[in-house]
Every structure is written in C-alpha cells, then in structure tokens.
Amino acid sequence: MALVNPKKRKMIDNEELEEEETEAKVASAVEELNENISKEVAEVFKSIERSYAKNRKKFRSYS
C-alpha cells in the first residue's frame, strides 16, 4: 500500500514510511537521553560542589 504525502505530492511506499517512523523514534529517544544525561550531569556537579564545600570546612577547622 502506498500513501501520498500531501506536502511533496509524491508516492511513499511502506518501506520509506517505516524508515521515516524509525528515524522519528530514534530522534525522540536521543532527545530523551540527552535530557536524562543533562539531569544526571547536573546532579553530579551538585554532589561535587557539596563535597567540596564540606571538605573546605574541614580544612579550615584544621588551620
């Protein structure tokens, strides 16, 4: 079965349609991963900042 893409006014076969759907799914997955990675990196930096502040207080008390 073929579909007509109204914007391009050409025939699209099922294989091409599946390829476009797959590309859209991959793009969506990559975007979701990017968001998750950004959140994780932010948490790591917050943890490092807390650790740094804690250690800084320790070193000041030794002085």
Flag whether pLDDT at 1 surpasses 50. no
Measured torsion, CA atoms of residues 20, 26, 28, 29, in degrees rounded to the nearest 10: 160
- Per-residue pLDDT for 63 more than 50? yes
pTM over 0.85: no
Only one residue has tokens 């790591």, namely 44
Counting beta carbons within 10 angstroms of the beta carbon of residue 17, is it exposed (0 to 12), middle (13 to 18) or buried (19 or more)? middle
Backbone phi, psi, residue 10, to 5°: -135, 165
> Which range has the worst mean pLDDT, 29-33, 46-50, 58-62?
58-62
pLDDT (tens digit per residue) in 4-44:
555 655 666 778 778 888 999 999 999 999 999 999 999 99
